[in-house]
Each structure stands twice: as structure tokens, then as C-alpha cells.
Amino acid sequence: MQRYDDLTELLLQLGDSAMVQAQRLCELVGGAPALEEEVALMNVGLDLVGQARNWLEYAAERINDGRTADDLVFHRDQSDYRNLLMVEQPNGDFGVTMAKQFLFDSWHYAMLQSLSDSSDERIAAVAAKSLKEVTYHLRRSSEWIKRLGDGTDESHTRMQAAIDKVWHYTFEFAMPAEYLAQLEADRVVPDASSLHQRWIGTVTSVLSEATLVQPEPAARNYLSGKDGLHSESLGYILAEMQFLPRAYPDANW
Amino acid sequence: MPTGDLIASDQPAADPQAIERAWHVLDEVMDPEVPVISLTDLGIVREVEWRAGQLRVVLTPTYSGCPATEHIELSAKSALTDAGFEQVQIEQQLAPAWTTDWISERGRERLKAYGIAPPVGSAAKPSFDKIIECPLCGSSNTKEITEFGSTACKALYQCNDCLEPFDYFKCI
């Protein structure tokens, strides 16, 4: 596994998380519970692909070995992906899809808020742009958590089961990210140490309004997206996403 | 004054009228997804200037993933080339992030006439009880169907009076 400087690692974590989440959303084309929902899920995915491109173009420039953002997406293996474990988990039912989306959105929002004040101008520009879009994503996923959690007995049970199912992967949001310490000191990620607190604040308030039980803090385990130690799910995502450019390397739009 | 500046300003194309003409050309280039609103009405043309003998045009994307971004770049460039500008350089700029507050009055009227409710209020001062008027019958008795519409920049609404569904250009 290749390890880059802290700033590049951060760009890969942001870009890869947005990309993998977008790819998961795209699986729902033709399979969402309602047409309006499908349009919304794809719009969120589209925003995330655009954001991934902005982060990964910067990462590619810093890596500077001739690879483009496209090469990073289509020609890296899973141990070189830095995405959060949460976004690679299977979509499951609509409750699980929304639980993952909400938990990711609330982390993403807190992270982008911090990055909007980054001392790195390019990061600040991409973050401020993305934050507008992610504010919208978070509002929408929060509404679904509340509507399903505080809905019928059936929807409540399933929404609680969905939160419990994926909650485990939130340990990454809480991890004392050693690699962020220097970036925080350099004000590249100004509020890194309050990130977890701001994230859990949003989660607690939405889950309580949704009449859902907030699980105990998730325990850390041997997996770690930022170290390229992924669950088995990522391999399947990459196999589908990378098939065409790998089988037909000259393929172009 | 450095020599370079003198050379640049000596070029016949570098007169202020040419810049104005370039703005007019861009004012005729329509958004590919909402073909009644021009690039300047949308507020995505941030700068037009001469730099080192080239016409430099700075655009800003509406949404990070907007698939029209490249298309817009190409159509701006070809419109300027057709209008006689030989050296055109288009750049994308992310900051400050585009906001619907930059859509011109004329742009808003054109959106409405086209059947799309223009953004209500100001993105800089968000408010929570916005009344979105139906662009077809003018009623304020409308409801949101979904927060996302046919493109990233729109949401889907329906009028409770005339019952027609319509697009709302989201305020961001």
C-alpha cells in the first residue's frame, strides 16, 4: 500500500468517500421505492461525483506521477482506496440506505464546515462549494430518518434495525485521527478536534426527534478505511465500477 | 510600466469595446438544460478580460457535478470564436461559490415565463417559510413533491389550485 503525505491522504479520503457513496447510490437506478426518490438519490450521487472529481484532481496533482483523477478512480485496487467503511456497506432496504446516507452526511457536513476555513485556499474553495450541496443532502436524509423513525410501528422497527446494523462503522468518525493532528496545527483542517463532537451533536438531535435509540459508541476494530483495510464489500464495488476501463483501457466518451 | 503591458494594450483587439462585445456574445449563449436563461443571466460568467493577447473568460460551475459544465465551456468558446475572437481561454473558478443570488432580474423573469419558479429569497439570508408561487397560474398555494427535480439545480413542486406540477429553481 502506497502512503502519501497527510494532505494527500486527506484528499484521497474525501474523494474516495464521495466516489464510493455515489457508486452505491447509482446501484439504485431503476430500483428506488418511488420515482421521486430515485431522482433525489441520483442527484445526491451526481453532486458527490463532482465533489470527488474536485478532490481527486487535487490529489492527482500532488501525487504527480502522471495519473489523472480518472486513473485514481479506475485503476487503484481496494488497499489503495481511503474511503470511510460506512459508504462501502451494501444498500440493504431503504432504511439501511438512508441510515448510511444520514450518518455519512452528518460527518461530511461537519468535515466540510471545518474545511471551508482551511488555510489551503483550494481546499477551502472546494469545501465551501460542496458544503452548499451537502447541507441539502443532510436536510433530506435527516427528514427521512425522522419520518421513518417516528412513523408506523413497522417503519420505526426497521429504521432502528438499520441504524443498529451500520452503527458499528461509525467508530471511524470517532477515531483520534493521528494524521489530522498536524493538518489541524497547520490550519488545513481547522476544527479537526471538534469534528466528532459536532458530528455526534447532529446525530443525537436527529435520532431523538426520530424517537430512535442512539447506540453506544462503536468500538474500534482491525478495519480502517484510511489505512486501506476495507470490508469485503469494497472489492465488489470496484469490480463493477472498474470493469469497463480495465477491460477496454482506450474506451472514451 | 512593464513592457509587456504596453504590448498587450497596443493590440487592436484589446480595446474596451471588445470586452463589452464579448459580454454581449456570452449573453446570447443559453444554458443547455434551461435554454431560456443565458450564461450571464445565470451569473456564472465571473470575469472577461484581456491577458497576454488572449481573451480570458472565467466561469464558475453551478453544482460540483453539473454535467453541463463542460458543454457550457465549449459553447461559450465556440460562440466567442464565431464572433471573431481568435484566442479565447476559458477558466473555471470555484471560489466564491456560485449562488442563485447572482441570477439577474431578467433571468428570473425568463425562468418564470418558461414555467420554472425562480429562486425565492436570498441564499445569503436563508428563511424557512418561503412561499413558492406557481409559475403557471400565480397561486401561492403550492406544495413540494420532492427536494430534487430533473436537474441538480431544481426541486419538484405542485400547485394545489391548478394542479400542475412545476420545477422550482432551488435557492442556494
How are beta strands B154-159 and B165-169 bridged, if at all? antiparallel
Structure confidence at residue B14 (pLDDT):
61
Of A60, A55, A32, A56, the closest CA to residue A44 belongs to A32
Structural domains of chain A, count: 1
Residue span of the structural domain in which A16 resides:
6-247
- Interface test with chain A among B64, B69, B128, B130, by most A beta carbons within 10 Å: B64
Minimal C-alpha gap between A218 and chain B (Å): 32
Q: Is residue A195 part of a domain?
A: yes
Domain B16-92 has CATH 2.40.340.10: no
Looking at the complex, does the CB of residue B95 fall below 8 Å from at least one CB of chain A?
yes
- Residue-level length of chain B: 172
Residues on chain B touching A50 (C-beta within 8 angstroms): 61, 63-66
Q: What is the pLDDT of residue B39?
A: 96
- Asked if A130's CB is within 8 angstroms of B65's CB, the reply is no
User: From first to last of its 253 residues, what are the pLDDT tens digits of chain A?
Assistant: 788 999 999 999 999 999 999 999 999 999 898 888 899 999 999 999 999 999 999 999 999 999 999 999 999 999 999 999 999 999 999 999 999 999 999 999 999 999 999 999 999 999 999 999 999 999 999 999 999 999 999 999 999 999 999 999 999 987 656 778 889 999 999 888 889 999 999 999 999 999 999 999 999 889 999 899 999 999 999 999 999 999 998 888 7
Name chain B contacts of A39, Cβ cutoff 8 Å.
Answer: 146, 148-150, 156
Query: What are the tens digits of pLDDT across the range A90-115?
Result: 999 999 999 999 999 999 999 999 99
pLDDT of residue B10: 43
The verdict on a CB contact (< 8 Å) between A136 and B170 is: yes
What pLDDT does residue B8 have? 46
Q: What is the pLDDT of residue B3?
A: 44
A47 closest CB neighbour out of B97, B98, B152? B152
Residue B127 has pLDDT above 70, yes or no: no
Asked, for residue A84, whether it belongs to a domain, the answer is yes
Bridge pairing between strands B54-59 and B45-51? antiparallel
- Write down the pLDDT at residue A207: 98
Identify residues of A whose CB sits under 8 angstroms from chain B CBs: 36-37, 39-40, 43-44, 46-51, 53-54, 121, 124-126, 128-130, 132-133, 136, 139-140
* Cis peptide bond upstream of B16, omega within 30: no
Average pLDDT along chain B: 88
Tell me if A252 is assigned to some domain.
no
**pLDDT value at position B149?**
84
Q: Is B148 on the interface with A (CB under 8 A)?
A: yes
User: Model's pTM, two decimal places?
Assistant: 0.91
In sequence order, what are the residues at sequence separation of 6 or more whose Cβ sits closer than 8 angstroms to the Cβ of residue B36? Answer: B30, B110, B111, B113, B114
The answer to whether position A191 is within a domain reads yes
Domains of chain B, residue spans: 16-92, 101-169
Residue of B148, B153, B172 to mutate, interface with A, max A Cβ within 10 Å: B148
Among A172-186, B85-99, B147-161, the range of highest mean pLDDT: B85-99
Residues contacting residue A122 through CB under 8 Å, at least 6 positions apart: A58
Residue A17 located in a structural domain = yes
With respect to residue A25, please indicate whether it lies within any of the assigned structural domains: yes
| Residue of A19, A44, A132, A252 to mutate for B, most B C-beta atoms under 10 A | A132
CB contact under 8 Å between A51 and B63, yes or no, is no
Reading the block at residue B14, the C-alpha cell is: 484589446
In a domain, A1, yes or no: no
Q: Identify whether A253 is part of a domain.
A: no
